[in-house]
Each structure stands twice: as C-alpha cells, then as structure tokens.
Amino acid sequence: MALVLDEPNDMDEAFEFNGFKFIANKDLLAQAQPITVDFKGVGFQIDSNLQMEGGGCSSCGTSGSCG
C-alpha cells in the first residue's frame, strides 16, 4: 500500500482529515480496513489489515512504513 498523488474517480472513496485529503479505491478500502495513516516527521506510516508479501515498500524495504 502506498501514498501517491492522484485525482479521485468514480471507483474511489474520499476522506478529509486535518486539511489532508485522502482517496482510496473502494475495493481496496474494503479489503484493507481499518487503515491508519500517521505522519512521522519525514514521511507517512500506513497500517492496514492487508498482509504484505515481498517486504512491502520497495523504496525502504519495510512492511507498512516508508518514512
């Protein structure tokens, strides 16, 4: 699971919290709930119900955290 810049479409659910707008694909959201997104000073940590295969984030090599 990753955070990326995107525009919402008909297949997305949009949420706004503390001035940040989050968009998630409805099907992925149903599989991943609950999802938490925490700002860690230099990046975001995403935790969800999904089981990551292959180590998670390719840029940092940790499951569920890229920041």
Cα separation of 61 and 31, whole Å? Answer: 22
14, 21 in Cβ contact below 8 A?
A: yes
* pTM (2 d.p.): 0.59
Structure tokens at 46: 């995403």
Q: What percent of the chain shows pLDDT beyond 70?
A: 73
Mean pLDDT, rounded, of the chain:
78
State the sign of the Cα–Cα–Cα–Cα dihedral 41, 35, 20, 18. negative
Q: Closest Cα to residue 30, out of 16, 43, 13?
A: 13
37, 3 in Cβ contact below 8 A?
A: yes
3-16 mean pLDDT:
88
* Single-letter code of the amino acid located at 38: D
